[in-house]
Every structure is written in C-alpha cells, then in structure tokens.
Structure 1
Amino acid sequence: MSQPLLDHASATMSAGSKSFATASKLFDKTTRRSALMLYTWCRYCDDVIDGQVAGFNVQQQVADSPEARLQRLRDMTRRAYEGEPMSEPPFAAFQEVALAHDIPPCQAFDHLEGYAMDVRNERYFTLDDTLRYCYHVAGVVGLMMARVMGVRDEETLDRACDLGLAFQLTNIARDIVEDAQVGRCYLPQQWLAEVGLNEQTATVKANRPALARIAARLVSEAEPYYQSAQAGLGELPLRSAWAIATAHGVYREIGVKVLMAGEKAWDQRQGTTRAEKISLVIAGVKQATASRKAEWPPRDPHLWQRPR
C-alpha cells in the first residue's frame, strides 16, 4: 500500500468520523491501515450518493442522477473485485482490503444496497424495517471490519453485526432533525403514528417532546445490541478488542446524551468531548482485558438476525 493512499485514508477518517477516528488509532498498525481503507470506500460511497464531502453538505453541481451514481459505485466495486487497476483512491483502497481479507462480494453489495434504499426514498413502517436499513448501512460494515480483524466464525460475526446495528440506531436518534432537512426519515412509521406524528410534523419545534420519546425508544432498542456486541470482544486480538470497546463506549455515550437532552437533543449535534474520549479509551482497555476471561450467554434469539 502506497503512503499517499494511506494518507488519503487517514484524512478521510479524521474529517468524516471523529467518533470512530479516536478508536481507530488503537488498532495495531496493520489492522488500522486496513480499517482506514475500508472506511474510505464506505465514506466515499455515502458522499457520492448524498452529494457531500466527508459527510458534510457542500454547494456543488452533480451532473448525473442518484441512480446513475449508484450504478457507477456498483460497477466500480465489481471491477475492484475482478482485480482491475483502480486509479481512484477509494476504490484502490477497497480493492486492497477486500482482496487481502477475503471480504465476500455479497457484503460489499449489501452495503451498497443501503444507499439504494436512500435513492429509492424508502420508508420504514416497523422497527424491523428500520433494522433492515441499519444492517445495510452499518451492520454489514461491522461484518467487513470483523473480517479485517481476522474473525471468521459466524457467532462472532453476529456480534460484530449487532454493534453496527447499535451504532446506526444511535446515529438515527441523534440525526432525526438533520435527516429530515434532506427529506430522509428512518423512524418506524408505527412509532410516529402512536404519538400522533408523521414525517411532516415530527420535527416541528412544538412536537419535540413527542419526538424525544421516540428518540428514547431508539436508544433503548440499541441497548441489547450494544450488550450483545460485548460478547464478541474476547474473540478479537487484544488491540482490536481495545479499539472496538472504545468505539462501543463512544457511540453508546452519544445515545445517552440524546436521551438525557430530551427535547433539546437537536439544538446542537450530540457528541463526546476530548476528555470524555480519553476516559472511554481508558475504560476500553479495561474492558478488552477483562474480555479475555469473561463468559457470555448465547446471543438473544429475539434480536434481529442478519441474513446468512
């Protein structure tokens, strides 16, 4: 892997995900490179569909349709798997990590299906529908990241997917208003109806108390997936377990902040401070070390199950 490609991946991570950037520094050098490469491709695909740069809205002209951009992502990803030379950094990065770690093509294309769901402007009527979206945009990323860390057994992969689901449920709760501003809603329509809201009225200021109750439900639904994910730590190399335990703590803390802020949760973007991240890094190493000896019950059969 060339240094310019690594530099590009590092810059992409720093700009696009401050929450995961902290945790990614805890991987061993080889694993961190691969994790950065995979993240670069995921971030690029997201940006291409949304017309953004590193997750931020920018003023730019996009000549082709979202459907055409999605098809190009699929075509380029297929070509990467076929071993064609890749000149664009995100696809060169993906090709390297996918081929080196035997990431199944079905997982990469499952991830692209998440962007297709956005392009189709899908709506989600039940929590299961929302979890299906979470799988495509984040659960399957957990599967691919786990393969980068050497995981191959299905039980541990289930736990990795659970962590991705928990992360995305947290993201949805944090970003309800921001998503609505670009015409997106990932909330279960049933939940909205139960509190007398719909997509058009959900983010009206006067309805924030009801919206806060829905956000609290999302945070609550994420919790069993966070708990399930902890059971996979002991199957990871120690440095990887440290990184993942830290990411687990950072994202879960964001959910706690959304919960505690109530109707004010969207007055500013919820996140963790530098001091909080340092504390979570310390807690993460303790959890990773303890996971070497911990015994966990079988995965709860009531949790949403990824496709196999």
Structure 2
Amino acid sequence: MTNVGPLDAAQFRTQVSGSSFYAAMRVMPKAEREAMFAVYMYCRLVDDIADDGTRPRPERAAALARWREDLQALYAGRPAGQAAFLQGPVRDFGLKQADFLGVIDGMDMDVEADIRAPDLATLDLYCSRVAGAVGRLSVRIFGMDEGPGHELAHRLGDALQLTNILRDLDEDAAIGRLYLPRELLTQAGIDTTDPVAAIADPRVDRACRALAAVALDHFAAADRLLRSRPRGRLLAPRLMAAVYRALLQDMLAVGWAPPRRRARIGKPRLLYLVARASLFG
C-alpha cells in the first residue's frame, strides 16, 4: 500500500496490531490479507472524516465528496489521488465501486446530522451502508460466490455493527450520537433522544438487551451459513464472528446499566479464539 496522507500504511498497521481485526487478517494468505488491510484502512479514513468534530459539517461533507471523485477516477482508469492505494485490490479481486460508495453513504448519514435514536428502518439502512458494504467487499476477497457471500455480508455485518453500537454507548454519546433505535428505547420507557440522558437511565439496559437479541439472531444466521461450508476462504469471517459474539456475551453478562466499562477481549482469550476457530471451524 502506498502512502495516503495523514494515516499511512505503517502507521495504520501499528494502530490495529492488537485488535481482533488484525488477528483475523493474519490468518489469511498474503494477497487477501493485503487487500483486507487496504479496505479496512479506506474505512478508517472516511470514518475519521465523519467523526472529526473539529471541522464543520460542510467541510466534512466536501471531504467525503472528494473521496467519491477519487473513486470515480480510480474506476475510470484516471489518476485516483487519495484512492490510489485501492487500485491493486480492485484489480485483483473485482471489488465494486458501489460498495466503496456505500460506505461513504453511511458516513454521509453521520455528517448530515448526529444520529439520535433512529427508527429501526433507519438503523437498518445505516448498518447496510457502513457494515453491509464492507462485508460485500470482504466476501469478494474471501473468494465467496455472490449469493452466500451477500447473505454473509448482511448477517455478519449487521451482527458486528450492532455489537459495536452496544459496546460504544458512552463514546458515541460523548460526540452527540445515540444509535439505539427509538422503538426499543420507547419500549423500555425512555422517551428522550438526548444521548447522555438516555444512556444515563438504568432502563437503557432493557433496550440494549433487545438490540443484543437482534444481533444474536444475525450471528446465528451467519453461523448456519458458515457451517454449510460455501466456497471461499472462511477462517477470517469465522474468527470475527467468534470474537464479536464473545464480546456480546460478555456485555450481556454484566448488562448496560450505568456505570459501564467498555468491554474488551484480552490477548490470551483472543489467541484462544483464534486457535479454536482454526481447529474447529
């Protein structure tokens, strides 16, 4: 990967070296691993734009628009600017422009206005953009056929994204966001959409458990698909599913009533999950 500006490839690898993502990618063959690093770095770069509270919204929107222009140039065979580092993965794995743009569509939702207690349909759209699109890019790198690949991208993508939402309640509230769906908050007796007030209410645990049940359904569907052994190199998605399901189970065990501590998978347990997925997947 070539240097892409504020976050270059070496810096990126250092930042993610202790993550579950890094552990999953290390089990892949080199070509696939490099392509996944490029896709993940792209996601980080556009996500950093969306989350940059130091810049006004129009400036962030313009930065995302420049990414759209560079992606268009890349697929048209012209100099691709900041998207040039994606050229190899796009060529080698047939990655689709629409999926890269789908990620930006999700970032645009965050830039347009802080998401606060979206309805379930809006949350589903958001997950499809920020997670499903990444999943569709990933399953092409994994070598899956389109049918089972798109199903895995949807199911595992939603499961991972919902788990992230449940893990990051406090961090998201600190920047004015609340991704818990309005319907589940209302069922829990919480009427406010103010992020800090909503997650300070002990009844938020009920809303989070309801969303966790949705995530578990997606994990179960992804597991059934993986166990059917579709064509492809499936160790990496199997490992990601195992790690994030364990993270969700840990959160379910302690609940989401305040005060909360951000759930983490320690390195010894992560290594155990890697070994288990490798041996019994």
Matches within 5 A, 1:119-198: 119-121=111-113, 122-123=115-116, 125-197=118-190, 198=192
C-alpha distance in 2, partners of 1:31/1:135?
Answer: 23
Residue 272 (1) aligns with residue 273 (2): no
Aligned residue for 2:93? 101
C-alpha distance in 2, partners of 1:127/1:280?
Answer: 32
1:235 to 221, 230, 237: 230
Instruction: Report the TM-score, using the length of structure 2 for normalisation.
Output: 0.87
Residue 15 (1) aligns with residue 15 (2): yes
C-alpha distance in 2, partners of 1:280/1:71?
Answer: 39
User: 1:125 Cα deviation (Å)?
Assistant: 4.0
C-alpha distance in 2, partners of 1:272/1:135?
Answer: 26
Q: Residues 244, 97 of structure 1: CA spacing in aligned structure 2 closer, same or farther, 3 A cutoff? A: same
Residue 118 (1) aligns with residue 110 (2): yes
The answer to whether the 8 Å contact 1:38/1:93 transfers is no
The answer to whether the 8 Å contact 1:174/1:266 transfers is no
User: 1:115 Cα deviation (Å)?
Assistant: 0.4
C-alpha distance in 1, partners of 2:280/2:149?
Answer: 17
Q: Residues 27, 10 of structure 1: CA spacing in aligned structure 2 closer, same or farther, 3 A cutoff? A: farther
Q: Residues 265, 77 of structure 1: CA spacing in aligned structure 2 closer, same or farther, 3 A cutoff? A: farther
Which structure 2 segments of 5+ residues have no match?
A: none
Question: What SS does the corresponding residue of 1:235 show, helix, strand or coil?
Answer: coil
What letter corresponds to residue 45 of structure 1 in structure 2?
V
**Deviation readout 1:96-154 (Å, 9 max, x if unpaired):** 21232222222111111100111122455432321221111111111100011222322
1:80 to 69, 74, 79: 74
Q: Residues 231, 63 of structure 1: CA spacing in aligned structure 2 closer, same or farther, 3 A cutoff? A: closer
C-alpha distance in 2, partners of 1:265/1:274?
Answer: 26
Aligned residue for 1:39? 40
User: 1:170 Cα deviation (Å)?
Assistant: 0.3
User: 1:14 Cα deviation (Å)?
Assistant: 4.5
Aligned residues: 272
What letter corresponds to residue 96 of structure 2 in structure 1?
P
RMSD: 2.5
Which structure 1 segments of 5+ residues have no match?
A: 53-59, 289-308
What percent of counterpart residues are identical? 27
C-alpha distance in 2, partners of 1:73/1:101?
Answer: 20
Aligned residue for 2:277? 284
The answer to whether the 8 Å contact 2:50/2:60 transfers is yes
Question: What SS does the corresponding residue of 2:234 show, helix, strand or coil?
Answer: helix
User: 1:226 Cα deviation (Å)?
Assistant: 1.0
